[in-house]
Chain A
Amino acid sequence: RPVAIEVPVHKRLSVPAEMTQSVKLVDESGSWCENGLEMLLDLNDYLVVGALGMQGSGKSTLMSFLAGNDCGDERSSLIFKPESKDTILKASHETYGIDLFVTKERILLLDTQPVLSSSVLDDLLSHEKNLPPEYTSAENYADMQSLQLAAFLMTVCHVVLVVIDWLPDLSLMEFLKRAEMLKPPTPSPPTSQAQDVESSRDKEDYSPNVAFVLNKASPSDFHPSVVKEVEKSITSVFKNSKLKFQGCSSLARANIMPSLTPASLPLDVNLFLIPHFHEKEMDITTIYNNGQSILYSLLPQKVKCHPRTETLVRSFRNQIYGASRSPLTHTSLTEKNWFHYAARTWETMRKSSLMSDFNRLLT
């Protein structure tokens, strides 16, 4: 006969075993997974960060570095699994659904499958028979999936990282605005008193911080004029949006490059540039083995126009960790509550009338 074991109170708050690998939050078929709950506590002080991006833009790699990996780490040891060589050759994608990782600083990191991806669409096409009945075609389903994913992140995350590896992708910008449009309204807290309902009606819907990360940036991208232009574009696209695209993380805020300061970038757009991760310093022994002079190793490896990648990544991590944690709902949630709230949101996302209305317009 099973006996209910009472967990001592002090143990409830103790940190569970540190995670080394991410766990699935949503699997590839789109169903919610419950095993992430074990990692969560009854604490209020946490931050949820989600990553959105196109296929191959480096979401998983970037999230791994946020989760604590170092720039020197082997690809295989990354917390979120990056694309393998084979995946690249197949023009396919690596992450399916949503992965969750909790750092010991209580940062909840959500890595997602790519949006607007031809590879995802291709997968759906090969299983066209299994499409849910409400979707008329596979590409509509792929579009709606992407939208649901983005709207989900915009509902349950404090910070949504938009990872891009080339600028500008207009369809991605349009996509983000569309996802904001389809974002479900923040649920009002269940109260019996009419007054509270009245007051909750006054509150605005939640909208997250949106931080753009230009991944794999080239040295020329760090030029102030380039950064400025990009910021200008983002500002004009998101001018009417409620998404908080300013004041969270940017190179100017990091203040690690003398040319990029709050004074020279007054727009304060959340735009961070991360250079390519895998430019490993050349090993001296390799050069030696190649028969080249050892003196070569003293020459600069590459002309860089930016601080060391490690510095940038560390600074970016600090900024994201310190992002404002405005409450996701009108009532405050603990980590565990957040998990249930996210599960509920994921479900409503698929049944949302906004989504189905939009789906009907897709021909």
Chain B
Amino acid sequence: KVADAMYELYMYPPEESKLYEEFESLQTVLDIDMRFSEGRCAKVLPIASRTYQDNASSHYTSIVHENKPGRSPSLPLFCLINQEKSAGKMSQSINDVFNLPFGGDTEEVIGDDQSICVVGLFGKSDGQEKSKGLLLNQLLKSPVFKAQHVGQVPVTAEEAEESHLFWKDQEFDYARALIFMFTVCHIVVLSHPKTTFDTSYVHLFRALETTRMSYLQKNCQGLAQMGNLPEERQRDGNSISNVALLRYVPLGYCHSWRYIRIYVYIRISQGDLAKKLNAVQRIQQNIEDQIFRILRKSRVLTNNLNHCLFSVPANQAFVHIVSGSEPEKTPMDILTGSFRDNFSPEYSEESLLEPGIPVNPNIPVMVDSLPSLSPTKNTNSFKTFLQQHIDIILNGRGFEDSLVRGTAPAHFEFPTLNEWIKVADAMYELYMYPPEESKLYEEFESLQTVLDIDMRFSEGRCAKVLPIASRTYQDNASSHYTSIVHENKFAQALKVYAQHARGPAYELFARKLEQECDAFWENGRQLCEVISLTGHHCILKLHLLPEEENTPEQQPPLPQMPHTNNNRTPCACNCGKTIGHRDDPFDLKVANYDFFQDLEEKCCNKFHHIAFPVYIPRRLSESSPVPEKTLSSEGMTEEVEAAADLKEEQDGQIKSGEKTKTIPDTQGDQPFFSPPLSLGQSGNDGVMTSHDSQARSMVTMDILSGSESIIPTSKGSSVSRQLSAVGYLQGMTCSASHPGLLPKYSSWSLVCHGKGNLYSHSKGLDQPNFLRDMNFLLPWDIPIPKGSKMDLNWPELEKTSGRRGGRNRERKTQRDSFRAYIGLEYECPRGHRFIYSGADKIPKAPGGAGGPKEGGNKLVTSDMPLHVPCTCSIHLKGTFLIPNRNTKPPLGQLIRAFIVTPEAPLYIQLNPKVRPGAHPCPVFYPECGEEGVILAKNSFWVLRFPYVYVTEAEPIYPPTDNQPVLGAKLFKGMFLVTVNPPKT
């Protein structure tokens, strides 16, 4: 009970209670440290503050405060400039930091004429905040790289190279600064955060010495310009000999963890200071020996001091290890340790030498009078160590470091600060910004090369690999090849290159390789890669078309020839009776017009044609037509007489394409040559064509009910059409082309073989190249509308058909319909032709003799594909109707439609609309307007589709992988029935 109560009382005393106050005073009594410390600090504060204010010059830089982060390898070039103590007046001492190049007036700042000792410091630093000690950090902040390096940027090739160059530039700047320092300092201190000697300094020192020796001459000239310098100095530019002091900074006072070796040792020898010093000295001794051996053997130190970059003292220690602090053993140690960490800048005189980042390209110089030289007990401090060496200088003696007796001692200068600043300023200018033409500049360039051994290696290596890779490309190169082959070959060459090329010059030489390969290819091995309208490229060397001119800069001039790719395919003519062979077309006119026109000479010329309207160039003499008149003359219907009658006009060998041109000539009294730019207008022109003499074979193109809409359109837009500079279409009529324009030739053709009885359904089409049993048209029974006018006519009709004999016996019994035969013919690149009913996925021959019994309806009522796999490969394989799964059969393309019109008052109207690609692809149609063409009765018609489809912008290529495009089709509605007869 008591304990419980007492516990409560003592542990949680109420705040107002007497006990609480007692406890508080107890706390104060116990914390003797704090009381002492507070008193002490309060006393010291004004003193410290006064110290700061006393020596303050009227204005000073903020360098000291920026000196927190260090770099590695950094450029902390502090020159500690010491005034001789003998002046004895502390009040006159100068505490100042300034930067080189020195901007101010030297007379004003430094009034003293006493000689000084200049100490330089360089090396790797490991600042208090290590992360900020990274040179990389500066790299990150550097404006050059800001954009690329901040954040996660993808690595580009250029960057790789640049970053190497950037590094090397930094290193080079560093080297130049070192040369400067080795020139203007008495003592140079190398600081290193670890108790090992960095062997890479050996290379650096040697490279520096080589450079220094070779520019000595230049150095003198530069100094001679200074004017007011002592003669002696002018004579010997390299006046100040140097001692390199290697100072190892374990930074023990803050981070004892770093000094594992020392740390471990100290723990062992705890409490025995002498022993500890011994150990440090032993390490110092050993490292000193090691370094001396290395420098001596690697000929950084030689017998002739004047040929050395620096010397080391022969009889004095030149390695100093800043030993670690006492290990932290108790919580109080931790506290004091953390206090030390926080306030370390004021901790010791060492902070004077805290390396800092110079604001490039300035080199901060710190001028200091060492405050007190009273010998401290601690003989191991860096200050004591350094002071020994400084004293030698200040006492006006030179170093006697010669390794061999009898050699001339090194010459020494003991400048005043004033002099020194002048010289250092000039040197700084000289080394940091050497004039471009000078010898020194060249020396520096060669120094840069020497230092960048990686780049030299890499360049050598890559240059060796380049021809090998290049040869890989050139080996087995055919005389000319496509850009795809070129790319592949280049990729292969690059692979060979990548296998052997190394280092930072990789990208540079990879670009060279690319240039070489490109040059090789472009120098006469380039293939003309113009793509034909069917999607195959030309296989000739790079050439021009016959009508193209060589440009003057093209050397050597390119040959002139038409494109070809040896891709000859069989193709039937307009009517289908004659087979020709066509080259893969590169030109639309050749593809869709010229080829068929050539065959026409041999075959179809004798047949009756219906020509589609085309553009006819306006004649100058008839430049003032009367459009109103022509428009009103015929109104709705337009006739285009195209060809002569089969029987009566065998001699009328006029090509259909020229027909419309020639006819007006023969009937010159008709003023119809008004601008035939529009469909309506051209129709007006064609109205009069010889309808009087050829009534029987008259073929008309009827625009049935749409004429009303067409005429206003033509009226409204006729002005703009006439104004348009290009009066015709380059490509084909399609939904994307200009609605009023016509092409110069038609890509379609419509031919009449003659009477309908030319086709025998039991035999099928009698035309070459048809696949076996696939030449049958499909019967299409056109029902007679009940109750129509035609219903009354049917007995008469039956009589008519009965006269025809037994060909269509079934038709006799079928009194409510008329029979037509229709078929869509596909032609594959191998020349195979077949009629496709759309019933099966793969076309197959109808079973049974006498041709198919039905199937025509499908053509009428549904869309038909533009491309259908040809069965030819199946036939060739011998496995009938079992497609080979590995090789897809070639595609047959819809090329012809056969129509056998019935003998009836019903007429078949053709209105083909083809979309050759998937949506959104323009729809193509012949130049017969929206309504199509009405065919004369009882005759055998062939509509030939275009071979290629080309819009104004680009060709629409057939599928390349023998896989039909789903959207490419002939729209339903091609076969229509009308009661209107063709206009005669």
A residues with a Cβ closer than 8 A to B are 54-56, 58, 83, 85, 88-92, 116-119, 121-122, 125-126, 128, 137-139, 142-143, 165-171, 174, 177-178, 181-182, 185, 201-202, 205, 216-218, 220-221, 225-226, 229-230, 232-233, 236-237, 239-240, 266-267, 275-276, 278, 282, 292, 296, 299-300, 302-303, 354, 357-358, 361-363
Q: Which residues of A contact B286 (CB under 8 A)?
A: 89-92
Q: Which residues of A contact B167 (CB under 8 A)?
A: 174
Determine whether the beta carbon of B290 is less than 8 Å from that of A119: yes
Q: Which residues of A contact B193 (CB under 8 A)?
A: 166
- Choose among B196, B293, B461, B495 the residue with the greatest number of A CB atoms under 10 Å from its CB: B196
Q: Would you mind naming 22 contact pairs between A and B with Cβ atoms under 8 Å apart?
A: A55-B196, A116-B200, A125-B293, A125-B297, A139-B298, A143-B199, A171-B200, A174-B454, A181-B458, A181-B502, A185-B499, A202-B495, A230-B134, A236-B139, A240-B160, A240-B163, A275-B257, A276-B260, A300-B331, A361-B453, A362-B203, A362-B453
Q: Which residues of A contact B268 (CB under 8 A)?
A: 85
Determine whether the beta carbon of A185 is less than 8 Å from that of B261: no
Q: Which residues of A contact B35 (CB under 8 A)?
A: none
Determine whether the beta carbon of A89 is less than 8 Å from that of B283: yes
Cα separation A240 to B133 with both chains bound (whole Å): 23
Q: Which residues of A contact B457 (CB under 8 A)?
A: 181, 357-358, 361
B874, CB-defined interface residue at 8 Å: no
B21, CB-defined interface residue at 8 Å: no
B7, CB-defined interface residue at 8 Å: no
Cα separation A171 to B199 with both chains bound (whole Å): 10
Min CB distance, B442 to chain A, in Å?
18
Q: Which residues of B contact A361 (CB under 8 A)?
A: 453, 456-457, 460
Determine whether the beta carbon of B453 is less than 8 Å from that of A168: no
The 7 closest A-B pairs by CB, nearest first: A229-B131, A233-B136, A118-B197, A240-B160, A88-B261, A226-B131, A181-B502
Determine whether the beta carbon of B131 is less than 8 Å from that of A167: yes
Cα separation A92 to B136 with both chains bound (whole Å): 30
The residue that B72 contacts in the complex, of A125, A142, A170, A225, with Cβ under 8 A, is A170
Cα separation A221 to B453 with both chains bound (whole Å): 34
Determine whether the beta carbon of B294 is less than 8 Å from that of A116: no
Determine whether the beta carbon of A138 is less than 8 Å from that of B132: no
B338, CB-defined interface residue at 8 Å: yes
Q: Which residues of B contact A363 (CB under 8 A)?
A: 206, 450
Determine whether the beta carbon of A169 is less than 8 Å from that of B265: no
The residue that B136 contacts in the complex, of A125, A138, A217, A237, with Cβ under 8 A, is A237
Determine whether the beta carbon of A116 is less than 8 Å from that of B198: yes
New A-B pairs, 14, CB < 8 Å, besides A166-B126, A221-B130: A118-B196, A118-B199, A121-B199, A121-B294, A139-B202, A142-B199, A165-B260, A168-B136, A170-B73, A201-B496, A220-B129, A229-B134, A236-B139, A357-B460
Min CB distance, A75 to chain B, in Å?
9
B155 and chain A: residue at smallest CB distance: A239
Determine whether the beta carbon of A218 is less than 8 Å from that of B136: no
Interface readout for B279-293 with A: 1 if CB under 8 Å, 0 if not? Answer: 100110011001101
Cα separation A188 to B163 with both chains bound (whole Å): 32
Interface size classification for chain B: 35 or more
Min CB distance, B298 to chain A, in Å?
5
Q: Which residues of B contact A89 (CB under 8 A)?
A: 261, 265, 279, 282-283, 286
Q: Which residues of B contact A217 (CB under 8 A)?
A: 257
Determine whether the beta carbon of B264 is less than 8 Å from that of A85: yes
Cα separation A126 to B290 with both chains bound (whole Å): 10
Cα separation A237 to B260 with both chains bound (whole Å): 28
- Choose among A88, A91, A116, A233 the residue with the greatest number of B CB atoms under 10 Å from its CB: A91
Q: Which residues of B contact A202 (CB under 8 A)?
A: 495
Q: Which residues of A contact B454 (CB under 8 A)?
A: 174, 177-178, 181
Q: Which residues of A contact B140 (CB under 8 A)?
A: 232, 236
CB within 8 Å for A88 and B331 given contacts A54-B196, A118-B199: no
Q: Which residues of A contact B261 (CB under 8 A)?
A: 56, 83, 88-89
A125 and chain B: residue at smallest CB distance: B297
Determine whether the beta carbon of A181 is less than 8 Å from that of B503: yes
B694, CB-defined interface residue at 8 Å: no
Interface readout for B109-148 with A: 1 if CB under 8 Å, 0 if not? Answer: 0000000000000001010011111111101100000000
B854, CB-defined interface residue at 8 Å: no
Cα separation A56 to B195 with both chains bound (whole Å): 9
Query: Using a CB-CB cutoff of 8 Å, which residues 28-77 of chain B contact chain A?
Result: 72-73
B335 and chain A: residue at smallest CB distance: A303
CB within 8 Å for A171 and B198 given contacts A118-B290, A185-B500, A226-B130: yes
- Choose among B193, B297, B453 the residue with the greatest number of A CB atoms under 10 Å from its CB: B297
The residue that B255 contacts in the complex, of A116, A169, A218, with Cβ under 8 A, is A218
- Choose among B132, B255, B496 the residue with the greatest number of A CB atoms under 10 Å from its CB: B255
Determine whether the beta carbon of B194 is less than 8 Å from that of A296: no
The residue that A168 contacts in the complex, of B134, B329, B456, with Cβ under 8 A, is B134
The residue that B196 contacts in the complex, of A85, A119, A126, A296, with Cβ under 8 A, is A119
Q: Which residues of B contact A282 (CB under 8 A)?
A: 329
B149, CB-defined interface residue at 8 Å: yes
Q: Which residues of A contact B359 (CB under 8 A)?
A: none
The residue that B194 contacts in the complex, of A166, A221, A357, with Cβ under 8 A, is A166
Determine whether the beta carbon of A357 is less than 8 Å from that of B134: no
B334, CB-defined interface residue at 8 Å: yes
The residue that A278 contacts in the complex, of B126, B149, B260, with Cβ under 8 A, is B260
Q: Which residues of A contact B134 (CB under 8 A)?
A: 167-168, 229-230, 233
Determine whether the beta carbon of A122 is less than 8 Å from that of B279: no
Q: Which residues of A contact B149 (CB under 8 A)?
A: 236
Determine whether the beta carbon of A122 is less than 8 Å from that of B290: yes
B349, CB-defined interface residue at 8 Å: no
B815, CB-defined interface residue at 8 Å: no
Interface readout for B478-507 with A: 1 if CB under 8 Å, 0 if not? Answer: 000000000000000001100110110000
CB within 8 Å for A122 and B294 given contacts A166-B194, A168-B136, A239-B160: yes
Cα separation A98 to B338 with both chains bound (whole Å): 41
Query: Using a CB-CB cutoff of 8 Å, which residues 409-460 of chain B contact chain A?
Result: 450, 453-454, 456-458, 460
B807, CB-defined interface residue at 8 Å: no
B594, CB-defined interface residue at 8 Å: no
Min CB distance, A27 to chain B, in Å?
22
Determine whether the beta carbon of A116 is less than 8 Å from that of B461: no
Determine whether the beta carbon of A233 is less than 8 Å from that of B194: no
Determine whether the beta carbon of A138 is less than 8 Å from that of B297: yes
Cα separation A183 to B868 with both chains bound (whole Å): 58
The residue that A166 contacts in the complex, of B73, B130, B159, B203, with Cβ under 8 A, is B130
Q: Which residues of A contact B73 (CB under 8 A)?
A: 170
Determine whether the beta carbon of B461 is less than 8 Å from that of A357: yes
B391, CB-defined interface residue at 8 Å: no
Determine whether the beta carbon of A303 is less than 8 Å from that of B334: yes
Cα separation A118 to B55 with both chains bound (whole Å): 45
A175 and chain B: residue at smallest CB distance: B200
Cα separation A119 to B287 with both chains bound (whole Å): 9
Cα separation A90 to B287 with both chains bound (whole Å): 8
Q: Which residues of B contact A220 (CB under 8 A)?
A: 129
CB within 8 Å for A88 and B265 given contacts A139-B199, A363-B450: yes
Cα separation A299 to B333 with both chains bound (whole Å): 12
Q: Which residues of B contact A221 (CB under 8 A)?
A: 130
Min CB distance, A148 to chain B, in Å?
15
Q: Which residues of B contact A239 (CB under 8 A)?
A: 155, 159-160, 163
A185 and chain B: residue at smallest CB distance: B499
Q: Which residues of B contact A177 (CB under 8 A)?
A: 454
Cα separation A229 to B129 with both chains bound (whole Å): 11
Determine whether the beta carbon of B194 is less than 8 Å from that of A56: yes
Cα separation A358 to B452 with both chains bound (whole Å): 12
B632, CB-defined interface residue at 8 Å: no
Determine whether the beta carbon of A229 is less than 8 Å from that of B132: yes
Q: Which residues of A contact B290 (CB under 8 A)?
A: 91, 118-119, 122
The residue that A276 contacts in the complex, of B257, B338, B496, B502, with Cβ under 8 A, is B257
Determine whether the beta carbon of A229 is less than 8 Å from that of B137: yes
- Choose among B159, B261, B500 the residue with the greatest number of A CB atoms under 10 Å from its CB: B261
Cα separation A276 to B136 with both chains bound (whole Å): 26
Q: Which residues of B contact A166 (CB under 8 A)?
A: 126, 130, 193-194, 258
